[in-house]
Amino acid sequence: MSSPWWKVALSEEITSTKPFAVDVGDQPVVLWRDAQGIARALEDRCPHRRAPLSRGCVRDNGWLQCGYHGWSYDGETGRLKDIPNMKDEQKFPPVYKAAAFAVSESGGFVSVNLDQKTAIAPPVVPQGFDLCDTAHVALGHDQWINALFDDPGLVLNIRSVEFTPYLMSDLREENGLLVMERFCLWGKVHWPSYATAEFPITLITRTHPVTGETEAVLRDDSFRTLLTAQLAPVPAARGVTQVRWRARLGDDLKGSHAVGLRHKGAFAVRETVDAAALRVLIASASHLAGKLREDIRTSAPDTASSVSAAA
């Protein structure tokens, strides 16, 4: 099975002035932009004395310099390029290098692949999502995705939107993605959802079976798109999930609640999860997702298209 691409950062987070530390599971990664503005990624560990490279700096020529003894690395290859005060002896054997990871930038996200040798860069799509942020959630990656499947309200906050337990369609596989559509209500005085005849909005989610990368589309009952969000959960150290997201509003917002989405903070990934509610959440869609994810991973590991490409 090929190694997945993880959307570990927003494009804005990666600069040529300050290294940026992330992790993919237990693997620490440092990102920065080189002199050409290309995002680079190395293991966040100096091969010299194992100091985090992210505590160093980016040199004018685009090399990453360790903040401990000043060793400098080229981002493309990870090769050691400079040791301070070595004067004319700056030629180093090939083993003098930091582990480099494949990097790709598309749609306002920077992705890394921990397997640089076999990684094939995903297609580049333009960035058209003006809202963005990062949330760190004290919940494991799989559990975060399962919560998204069973009750999006536990992990997402969309202004005035109440997520109901009712699915317009069961979770299903479509082009290698896990797709489902959930009925939603506007947060106002109304019948409880179990006694509601018609729902004004739905949330469609398309989720990558391995990474959990999800496109979420909020749509009204006249098929107007109210909001589109891309969610990129990445497993991080200590069971934390880092969720980067970008969102944009629809062009044609009708009704006071839809227009209210224009206000700041209309969309957010929750930093904290209601553990009491999570504990008693009935595993329904996620139960199917577990089986589907396993089927997709084993039967066609490379066919799952990226969420943004499929959209």
Partner 1 sequence: MLEVADRPASPETEHFDSSAPAAPKRSSGLSLNAVNNWVPHDLVMRDSWFPLAHDHAVGKTPVRRAVYSHPFYIWREDGKVVASEFHPLEIVTRDKSPFTDARGRYPVMEHYGLIWGWFGRPEAADPAHLPSLPFLPPKGGLPKHMTATIRFDCSAPISLENLIDLTHADFLHADVVGDEKSDSEEVEVYYDSETITMVRTLVNKSVAPIMKFFSGIRQPTQNVRQVIRIYLRSHCAIAYGRFSPGDDVPLFHPCTPESRDRTRMEMVMNTSNAGPMFRHVMPKAGYKVSRQDSSMTNPQSPRYMDLSPRKDLHSKFDQAGQRYRLLMMELAARQDAGDFAYRDNVSTDCSDIIGLRKELFQF
Q: Which residues of the shown chain bind partner 1 in the complex (CB under 8 A)?
A: 165-170, 172, 193-199, 221-223, 282-285, 287-288
Beta carbon nearer to partner 1, 165 or 250: 165
Distances (CA, A) of 192 to 10, 74, 166, 186: 38, 59, 12, 12
Burial of 37 (0-12, 13-18, 19+ CB in 10 A): exposed
The distance of closest approach from Cβ of residue 231 to partner 1 in the complex, given in angstroms and rounded to an integer, is 22
The distance of closest approach from Cβ of residue 289 to partner 1 in the complex, given in angstroms and rounded to an integer, is 12
What are the φ/ψ torsions at residue 294 (nearest 5 degrees)? -70, -45
Beta carbon nearer to partner 1, 38 or 167: 167
> Long-range contacts for 102-108 (Cβ within 8 Å, ≥24 apart)?
102/41, 103/31, 103/38, 103/39, 103/40, 103/41, 104/5, 105/11, 105/39, 106/308, 107/230, 107/246, 107/308, 108/10, 108/11, 108/12, 108/132, 108/246
Beta carbon nearer to partner 1, 22 or 285: 285
Beta carbon nearer to partner 1, 15 or 196: 196
The distance of closest approach from Cβ of residue 295 to partner 1 in the complex, given in angstroms and rounded to an integer, is 14
Beta carbon nearer to partner 1, 92 or 166: 166
Burial of 203 (0-12, 13-18, 19+ CB in 10 A): buried
Tokens 């399962």 sit on residue: 146
Beta carbon nearer to partner 1, 142 or 271: 142
Neighbours of 61 (CB within 10 A): 11
The distance of closest approach from Cβ of residue 217 to partner 1 in the complex, given in angstroms and rounded to an integer, is 13
Beta carbon nearer to partner 1, 118 or 298: 298
R_g of the chain computed on alpha carbons: 22
The distance of closest approach from Cβ of residue 300 to partner 1 in the complex, given in angstroms and rounded to an integer, is 20
CA-based end-to-end distance of the chain: 24
The distance of closest approach from Cβ of residue 198 to partner 1 in the complex, given in angstroms and rounded to an integer, is 6
Q: How far is CA 253 from the centre of its chain?
A: 27
The distance of closest approach from Cβ of residue 8 to partner 1 in the complex, given in angstroms and rounded to an integer, is 31
Beta carbon nearer to partner 1, 103 or 145: 145
Sequence-distant (≥ 6) Cβ neighbours of residue 65 within 8 angstroms: 56, 57, 58, 59, 71, 72, 73, 82
